[in-house]
Amino acid sequence: MAIARPIRVLGLAAICLWVFFLYQVFGSAKPPPPSKIMDKEPLLEYTGEPEGAPLWRAEKGYGPGAEGTNRINATLLSLVRNEEVEGMVQAMRDLERTWNSKFNYPWTFFNDVPFTEEFKTRTQAETSAECKYELIPKEHWETPSWIDEELFQESAKILKEQDIQYASMKSYHQMCRWNSGLFYKHPALENTQYYWRVEPKVHFFCDVDYDVFRYMQDNNKTYGFTINLFDAPQSIPTLWPETVKFLAQHPEYLHDQNAMPWLVDSEKRPEHNMKANGYSTCHFWSNFEIADMSFWRSQAYEDYFNHLDRAGGFFYERWGDAPVHSIALALFEDSSKIHWFRDIGYQHIPYFNCPNSPKCKGCVTGRFTDGESWLMKEDCRSNWFKYVGMD
Ligand code: GDP
Ligand code: MN
């Protein structure tokens, strides 16, 4: 029959096309598509992020990560009290809006007492990501056995006379110690590598459209910060002397590419350096940190923390986790692995990091503080740029 053959050929072609289509949709071994936001995003538009980042994004794309998702091994992390639920919800709302709703990283909340049902319900309602609620083991939170209660009370009195905030609040000292050397040892974080620390009541102002954890991983960064501040030297008079002692015992831990000149600067604020016995007091403000816990889990940091812990300054003085983290990073890590997230608009009262970018709303570009004018001099970011650079 004259028309049967073309019809058969056409039919065969249609079947082939159909099979090819089915294979493309269901059968190929392609990784899952990148998140929708990545598809839509013009890759080279201005984002305020560091040079090179958009290109890096275009080149590498977002392949599947842990457990077959686009995410890498990371969590948002908050130590918080039940009473702070309101502030936590507000901070979550900001971070979910500007960043996490695009990536859905899990939240892990820590507390020294069990979280209330109200806390759990209200925080989970702010995100479609998984929320985990973790109790801190007693042995991580309790004041160590070698701390003498009477001496603690005496020291607190002296610190208070010097206007050191929270000096006599034991839990504040416990919090600083836990944030310094214990949080990353919690069993719930055993298999987690990166974290972004978030405190209640902080604000985020800028849309951030790339996966900051992936940025850290792909660029081999250890630590990311937004703000550099001077510390109250009266809260850490023996922190630097103890550090010098430790370094004498362990010169092998000092990294070739360390940031020692940043630590010991005495030009910008000579009196601070004097009162802190050789340390400029300039530190990464740790209520914001995006970091790789491998560093805290290293032998160098473990030994350093134990040395400090034994020295007693978390209780007899008021050593914060910020200067402790900062000193360790500046001594034991390659300074090029420390990254300023200039593109993340951030506020923890009373300081800001507010970039110049159309992606930011709700903060004043370049403003450092909305508090009294003397607070301006607490900014020491320029020292980081002077001694280490901008990346
Ligand atoms: P500041 O930023 O130095 O003024 O100190 P904060 O009061 O903000 O405390 C730092 C972080 O630790 C915040 O996320 C607090 O919610 C948390 N925090 C402080 N003390 C405690 C405590 O005793 N228990 C718990 N669960 N969280 C605490
Ligand atoms: Mn705070």
- Residue 114 per-residue DSSP state: P
275 lines ligand 1 (CB under 6 A): no
- What the block records as the tokens of 259 is 């940031």
Per-residue confidence (pLDDT) for residue 255, from 0 to 100: 98
Ligand 1, atom 18: closest residue by C-alpha: 80
> How many other CB atoms are found less than 10 A from the CB of residue 359?
18
Q: What is the reported pTM?
A: 0.85
Task: Please state the atom number of ligand 1 nearest to the C-alpha of residue 82.
Answer: 26
Q: What is the mean pLDDT of the chain?
A: 88
Which of 243, 379, 236, 384 minimizes the C-alpha distance to 319?
A: 236
Per-residue confidence (pLDDT) for residue 70, from 0 to 100: 84
- What the block records as the tokens of 180 is 């310094």
Residues 6+ apart with CB under 8 A from 326: 263, 282, 283, 284, 286
As for the ipTM of the complex, it is 0.99
Distance from the alpha carbon of residue 29 to the mean position of ligand 1, in angstroms = 47
84 lines ligand 1 (CB under 6 A): yes
Ligand 1, atom 24: closest residue by C-alpha: 81
Per-residue confidence (pLDDT) for residue 26, from 0 to 100: 46
Ligand 1, atom 15: closest residue by C-alpha: 80
**How does pLDDT run across 105-131, given as a tens digit for each residue?**
999 999 999 999 999 999 999 999 999
The string of DSSP letters for 27-84 reads: I--PPPPPPHHHHHS-TTS--SPPTTHHHHHHHH-----GGGSS--SEEEEEE--GGG
Per-residue confidence (pLDDT) for residue 163, from 0 to 100: 95
Per-residue confidence (pLDDT) for residue 274, from 0 to 100: 98
Per-residue confidence (pLDDT) for residue 231, from 0 to 100: 98
Per-residue confidence (pLDDT) for residue 50, from 0 to 100: 41
Task: Sketch out the chain's domains with CATH numbers.
Answer: 71-387 (3.90.550.10)
111 lines ligand 1 (CB under 6 A): yes
Per-residue confidence (pLDDT) for residue 391, from 0 to 100: 74
243 lines ligand 1 (CB under 6 A): no
289 lines ligand 1 (CB under 6 A): no
Per-residue confidence (pLDDT) for residue 14, from 0 to 100: 65
Residues designated as active site: 289
For 91, list phi and psi in degrees, rounded to 5.
Answer: -65, -40
Per-residue confidence (pLDDT) for residue 187, from 0 to 100: 98
pLDDT < 50 regions, the chain: 1-2, 24-67
